[in-house]
Structure 1
């Protein structure tokens, strides 16, 4: 049997907890074949837990180390890793937390997972050619109405129905973590990368309207129309231009 086939059998043995590899192994001087396979299995699962801990350190802090470890084992069996790279191993954790007891009864856990994964995705998002204030200033007035804007690939808007952001902030500032609480109104949060720094902030409703319109590839005049339902019509254009300048400074708008 080829070495690659043995590697696959060992991997399948670990992931399925079945002795598929055992017939192809020699008995060790001490202990049993099962003991030796268990050493590899324990190391494998420990490495997966470390990967999750690295990607979701705030979630681990909120849950507590022991509960996070137990959750990691359950997640690993529900979403086993078949890839040599662990970069995307944790991508399904928020889904796991929303569909699996007892975690799905604690909605804030999935929201924290979504937040931390969005941070990771922002960090590894591809670079893009940034839009500058000079680009806007050089645009002829006649082209402004049909002008469309585009968000940087790192940008992501999240919706939170629980006080998950307060839990995240408390955990990261070494303060007492508040009790989970459902919000009266949802919070909208933008996550993005500014140079090498991942940033986030809560959005006002008008900002949310503008950014969602940009995602939908609405033109400048169409965005103004949407905003006119939220503020005096004669203030819309100047508001939108100010917002565009602000998001350009945050490296959130790109050229196409």
Structure 2
């Protein structure tokens, strides 16, 4: 057997649902005085699955908190069987976990669980994102008055946005605090949660609807500052510029923004 064929056979054994190796593959190996081939291969098989489940337990601790150890073990094993690790870094193992939950579980359970999985994955993405060149309050202080109307901004690379239709943040916080499970509830209205990294710490907060629309207008639609003020004038009237500056200052202090192209 060529080395590449043997490696593929070993991979097939690790990815199979049973720890019992095929007789052809087992015949290529020699046992030792204290460990036979079948037992050794079963140990490798089970250890590989266990390692992948450890990664998912770490990345989706709130899901594990909700389901409990036994149900999470079953869910994570089913996920690994459906989506084996295909990247050299285990950091990407849980990329499709939320989508898998929607496919694998009944709708009334899968929707809030998948939203929680998306929130936990957002923290992973935020933590690993590139730094970017954040917009600072000092930059704004130096901005000439004539450039304010045309000011455009983009989200910092670490910022993740999530539409929450359930009390996902409350469930996530309870898992971190090890407090009583609050139970899943539908939010009315839904809200936008932003997750980002600032000064090497992952942060999060919910946005009120008007603030969420204002931020989306600037970073998605491409409003400049004058357009932001014009849009806010519909709701805030003469107070629109003050509200626009207040939110802009808050976004900059939070570390959400970088300068956009003029």
Instruction: Report the TM-score, using the length of structure 1 for normalisation.
Output: 0.91
- The answer as to 2:12 corresponding to 1:12 is yes
- The answer as to 2:47 corresponding to 1:47 is no
Instruction: Report the TM-score, using the length of structure 2 for normalisation.
Output: 0.89
Alpha-carbon offset, residue 77 of structure 1: 0.8
Number of corresponding residues: 255
Alpha-carbon offset, residue 126 of structure 1: 0.2
Alpha-carbon offset, residue 4 of structure 1: 4.7
- C-alpha change, 1:39 and 1:219, in structure 2 (3 Å) is same
Which residue of the other structure, out of 5, 22, 25, is the alignment partner of 1:22? 25
In structure 1, the residue matched to 2:72 is 68
Cα deviation digits, residues 67-126 of structure 1 (max 9, x gap): 111100000011111333201001110111111124763321111111111011111110
Matches within 5 A, 1:116-131: 116-131=120-135
- The answer as to 2:230 corresponding to 1:222 is no
- C-alpha change, 1:24 and 1:148, in structure 2 (3 Å) is farther
Alpha-carbon offset, residue 145 of structure 1: 1.8
- C-alpha change, 1:33 and 1:250, in structure 2 (3 Å) is same
Deviates more, 1:130-139 or 1:8-17: 8-17
Equivalents in 1 of 2:24, 2:94: separation in Å?
27
Cα deviation digits, residues 195-218 of structure 1 (max 9, x gap): 111011111112101211122222
Cα deviation digits, residues 171-227 of structure 1 (max 9, x gap): 222211112122221121111111111011111112101211122222112222332
The answer as to whether partners of 1:158 and 1:189 remain within 8 angstroms in 2 is: yes
Equivalents in 2 of 1:185, 1:71: separation in Å?
30
- C-alpha change, 1:104 and 1:78, in structure 2 (3 Å) is farther
The answer as to whether partners of 2:26 and 2:38 remain within 8 angstroms in 1 is: no
Equivalents in 2 of 1:25, 1:74: separation in Å?
29
The answer as to whether partners of 1:9 and 1:20 remain within 8 angstroms in 2 is: no
Q: Secondary structure at the match of 1:232?
A: helix
Alpha-carbon offset, residue 238 of structure 1: 1.2
RMSD of aligned residue pairs (Cα, Å): 2.2
